[in-house]
Amino acid sequence: MDFPQYRKRFDSKSFYKIINERTFEEVQLIGDKVFKHQIKADKYFEIIQIQDMLKAEGGMYFFSNELEYNKYQKA
């Protein structure tokens, strides 16, 4: 799989840039505020979360793209 990969949450309030199998950035929209976090997956739960995002199955995460990610990052 090539990286980065882009995903968004089902409610379009979080957007993800998956840098590799253990690191991702999240742009989170809360009201009119935008928060950006970088997560390095050290714990089992975090590693599974990245795997779930990459699969984009089950209705929690959907495919996105760089343009959509950057649009909200600069909001």
pLDDT digits (tens, 9 = 90+) for 53-70: 999 999 999 999 999 999
72 — pLDDT class (breaks 50, 70, 90): confident
Strand partners of residue 16: 7, 26
Identify whether 13 is part of a domain: yes
Diameter over CA atoms, the chain: 34
> Is residue 29 in a domain?
yes
User: Which residue segment(s) compose the domain that 47 sits in?
Assistant: 5-56
39: Cβ contacts below 8 Å, ≥ 6 apart: 23, 24, 25, 26, 46
**Does a structural domain hold residue 27?**
yes
Is 21 inside a domain boundary?
yes
> Does residue 63 belong to any structural domain of this protein?
no
Could you identify the residue written with the tokens 């739960």? Answer: 45
At 11-37, the pLDDT tens digits run 999 999 999 999 999 999 999 999 999
75 pLDDT above the threshold of 80: no
Quote the number of domains for the chain.
Answer: 1
| Cα(2)–Cα(9) distance, integer angstroms | 20
Kindly tell me if the per-residue pLDDT of 74 is higher than 70. Answer: no
